[in-house]
């Protein structure tokens, strides 16, 4: 498992500053990092991606500052080495797609809807010398985006999960899943995935600790014949869910 040299999955701030000296201006008198500042979060997470995972990541000016450690904790729940995988909505960092290829040796296809994020993801893929196939989704999820007849061992996503637009750091395209609890996007993904998974294949969803949302997605999965496993894990101070839904 990737880890910092002390054996733990994390990076001391002092080590991050060595990689990005600009972080120094965001430290208080006790050496603590001001993570309320977007620029500080970006620099710190770039340092984590580089030091622990060996990835060179650039963040889009208006994109979510995704944390490498939370994504890795999610991926190790469901991913096996050398699998053929599809990520739905790789975002501007292409972080999980890159981890799937670089850390797990997977054959990766990834999709992205937003034009600006697509180009940013493409640059991150190129920057890391990855061979990820990147597809523009054009508003679709799987059908009409991925060629018919293709099959994958795993289809995974950090799907949008709000029921309506909300203020905050997420853009509307990133955030709004629709439905009563924000489950609409995830439900549609589960339905479409059945035609693109190999026998024994899996859908994996990275979701927040939002009980009505989790319940709605789990119920849909069971109704569609998936075997459902809900793995709750803590990333920083927040609880997250890795929903793993397996077909027979």
**Per-position DSSP letters for 133-153, written without gaps between them:** EEEE-TT-SSTTTSPTT--EE
β-strands 227-235, 238-246: how paired? Answer: antiparallel
Tokens representing 189 are: 């993904």
pLDDT of 23 above 80: yes
Distances (CA, A) of 18 to 37, 50, 92, 97: 19, 12, 25, 27
Q: Please give the average per-residue pLDDT across 218-227, as a whole number.
A: 97
Determine whether 35 is exposed, middle or buried from the number of CB atoms within 10 Å of its CB (0-12, 13-18, 19+).
middle
Nearest to 246, CA basis, from 142, 146, 183, 155: 155
pLDDT value for 240: 93
pLDDT digits (tens, 9 = 90+) for 97-121: 999 999 999 999 999 999 999 999 9
Domain segments of the chain: what residues? 13-53, 68-246
pLDDT of 236 above 80: no
Longest dimension (CA), the chain: 59
pTM: 0.92
Q: Are 61 and 81 in contact (CB under 8 A)?
A: no
Distances (CA, A) of 196 to 86, 89, 218: 10, 16, 20
Work out the percent of the chain whose per-residue pLDDT is above 90: 79
pLDDT of 78 above 90: yes
Can you name the CATH fold of 68-246? Rossmann fold (3.40.50)
């Amino acid at each position: 498992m990737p880890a910092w040299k002390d054996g733990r999955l994390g990076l001391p701030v002092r080590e991050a500053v060595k990689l990005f000296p600009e972080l120094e201006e965001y430290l208080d008198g006790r050496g603590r990092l001001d993570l309320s500042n977007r620029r500080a979060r970006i620099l710190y997470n770039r340092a984590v991606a580089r030091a622990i995972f060996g990835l060179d990541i650039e963040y889009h000016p208006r994109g979510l500052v995704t944390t490498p450690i939370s994504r890795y904790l999610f991926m190790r729940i469901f991913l096996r080495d050398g699998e053929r995988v599809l990520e739905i909505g790789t975002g501007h960092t292409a972080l999980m797609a890159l981890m799937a290829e670089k850390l797990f040796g997977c054959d990766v296809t990834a999709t992205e809807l937003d034009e600006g994020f697509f180009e940013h993801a493409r640059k991150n893929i190129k920057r890391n010398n990855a061979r990820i196939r990147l597809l523009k989704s054009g508003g679709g999820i799987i059908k009409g985006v991925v060629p018919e007849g293709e099959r994958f061992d795993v289809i995974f996503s950090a799907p949008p999960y709000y029921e309506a637009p909300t203020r905050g750091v997420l853009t509307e395209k990133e955030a709004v899943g629709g439905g009563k609890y924000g489950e609409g996007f995830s439900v549609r993904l589960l339905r479409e995935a059945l035609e693109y998974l190999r026998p024994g294949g899996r859908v994996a969803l990275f979701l927040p600790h939002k009980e009505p949302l989790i319940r709605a997605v789990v119920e849909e999965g069971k109704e569609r014949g998936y075997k459902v496993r809900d793995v709750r894990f803590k990333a920083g101070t927040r609880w997250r869910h890795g929903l793993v839904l397996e077909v027979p």
